[in-house]
Amino acid sequence: MLSGRRVVLGVTGGIAAYKAVEVCRRLVDAGVHVVPVMTAGAEHFIGRTTLSALASEPVQTSLWTETSPIPHTLLGQQADLILIVPATARLIGAYAAGLSTDLLTNVLLATRAPVVICPAMHTEMWEHPAVQHNLATLRQRGVYVVEPDEGRLAGGDIGRGRLAAPERILAEVERVLGPRDLSGLHVVVSAGGTREPIDAVRVIANRSSGKQGYAIAAEALSRGATVSIVSTVDLPVPCGAVVVRVDTAAQMHTAIAALADDADIIVMAAAVADFRPVAAVDGKIKKEAGVPQIVLEPTPDILAALGANKPAGQTLVGFAAETSDLLANAQSKLHRKQLDLIVANDVSLPGVGFEHDTNAVTLVCADGHVSTVALTDKRAIARAVLDSVCRIRTGNDSAG
């Protein structure tokens, strides 16, 4: 599966750099064309000659070569994947901040290829809030992170921060370079929580962060789809997605309706308000006027409308945030809204749903297939959701 693919292998300056040599050798054995790039720090740990001898071409270290005036754009454009082994805290921080300080950071900013980073560092550095924050930013942008293992570190300490085993790194490269099973398809994802105005300053809102919707968008992009996000939040936009920014349920309805006819897959990950004030008051309601009576009316059920008018071949996915009777509520919603798949989560559980970086879900398909995904990061949930979508679509194709 890897044969003939082109991977830029970035090596940064950590003691685990020597293990990048083994990763390089295994990639080459698998038929990958490996383009090695080393940072100045990496050269303190391994020699260029070693990596040049094992990779598919000589190591590059500098932006300032005479043979190619723009090595960073060429390397980034031609790569099928960028793999960083090991990724130091410095590299992770520079990449998250968008700083181009050397050839490798330039390549990272100049590429549209998927990026896999394999952090390795001492436990204290790995657990530092700045490092974790930077990793969260990168994950949100669609970067794949191969988490370090726990084990013996340089200097004899034991803890998390040890570079993942080469097998795990190779498996991730294979997975990311795996089948582009959404290629040629248009995926529309809604994300965030709607905000319904009460007056000029107040809104009825909810706790949705939009992170799950953006993770689905990033995953769909990496699997070859064209992606539109209808969003109420300003998260980093996954590379290549088009974002339509909205606020209220009515605006979201209009934006999604405009995209729906052309969509192969619609994932309604947004938390849409069920009720809104009948009319927003002009200006600010004054406290002195006493407790206001806010009269509510139902919002349009976007998903139900999409389900009722679904074009042939479209796959419709809804979400169900529940606090009890998860499966029964999800199944009833699936049928009522004429969905192909519903992603149900119990948002009363720790680490699940709104605002978290993690989620745990039950996937209920219209064909009766039910599966669960235990607590994991939202990108992994996105992968499971789109795996189910592909399974449903393949079933439909073979049936038709």
Supply the residues annotated as catalytic.
206
From 268, 316, 364, 384, residue interacting with ligand C5P (rule: CB under 6 A): 268
Rounded to 10 deg, the angle between the 166-176 and 17-29 helix axes is: 50
b (16+ CB within 10 A) / e for 143-174: bbbbebeeeebeeeeeebbbbbebeebbebbe
Angle, CA 101 vertex, CA 98 and CA 104 arms, to 5°: 85
Q: Per CB under 6 A, which region of 53-61, 119-127, 143-151, 265-273 contacts ligand C5P? A: 265-273
Least distance (Å) from ligand C5P to the CB of residue 301?
4
Given the structure tokens 């919603």, which residue do they identify? 333
Counting contacts by CB under 6 A, is residue 320 touching ligand C5P? Answer: yes
3-state SS, residue 241: coil
Kindly tell me which residue out of 139, 223, 333, 378 binds ligand C5P, with binding defined by CB under 6 A: 333
- Nearer Cβ to ligand C5P (13/318): 318
Long-range pairs, 329-338, Cβ under 8 A, ≥24: 330/362, 330/364, 331/364, 334/364, 334/366, 335/366, 336/304, 337/301, 337/303, 337/304, 337/307, 338/304, 338/307, 338/308, 338/310
Tell which one of 2, 270, 341, 344 touches ligand C5P (CB under 6 A): 270
Residue from 303, 344, 386, 392 in contact with ligand C5P (CB under 6 A): 303
Least distance between ligand C5P and beta carbon 298 (Å): 8
Taking the complex as a whole, the smallest distance from the CB of residue 394 to ligand C5P amounts, in Å, to: 23
Retrieve residue 191's tokens: 């994300």
Is 301 among the residues that bind ligand C5P (CB under 6 A)?
Answer: yes
Residue span binding ligand C5P (CB under 6 A) among the ranges 30-38, 121-129, 240-248, 268-276:
268-276
Cα 329–chain centre separation: 27
Regarding 318 and contact with ligand C5P (CB under 6 A), the answer is yes
**Helix crossing, 378-399 with 211-222: angle to 10°?**
50
For ligand C5P, give the closer residue by CB, 139 or 333: 333
Stretch that binds ligand C5P, among 19-27, 113-121, 126-134, 315-323 (CB under 6 A): 315-323
Q: Which stretch binds ligand C5P (CB under 6 A): 120-128, 181-189, 267-275, 374-382?
A: 267-275
Bridge partner list, 344: 320, 362
- Going residue by residue from 15 to 54, which x/- string records binding to ligand C5P, judged by CB under 6 A? ----------------------------------------
Residue 147's SS3 state is coil
Q: Under a CB-based contact definition with an 8 Å cutoff, are residues 243 and 214 in contact?
A: no
Cα dihedral angle (182, 187, 192, 198), rounded to 10 degrees?
-170
Instruction: Indicate whether 106 belongs to the interface with ligand C5P (CB under 6 A).
Output: no
Indicate the pairing of strand 81-87 with strand 115-119.
Answer: parallel
How many Å apart are CA 207 and CA 356, to the nearest integer?
10
Q: How many residues bind ligand C5P (CB under 6 A)?
A: 14
Selected from 28, 274, 366, 387, the binder of ligand C5P by CB under 6 A is: 274
Among 249, 263, 266, 385, binds ligand C5P (CB under 6 A): 249
The string of DSSP codes covering 154-165 is GGG-EEEEEPPP
Nearer to ligand C5P, 30 or 349 (CB): 349
**CB closer to ligand C5P out of 128 and 310:** 310
Stretch that binds ligand C5P, among 211-219, 258-266, 278-286, 301-309 (CB under 6 A): 301-309
Q: Is 369 helix (H, G, I), strand (E, B) or coil?
A: coil
Q: Residue 86 CB, nearest distance to ligand C5P (Å)?
A: 40
Closest Cα to residue 359, out of 208, 165, 167, 158?
208
What mask, x for binding ligand C5P by CB under 6 A, covers residues 185 to 204? -----x--------------
Q: Which stretch binds ligand C5P (CB under 6 A): 47-55, 94-102, 313-321, 365-373?
A: 313-321
Binding-site ranges for ligand C5P (CB under 6 A) = 190, 249, 268, 270, 272, 274, 299, 301-303, 318-320, 333
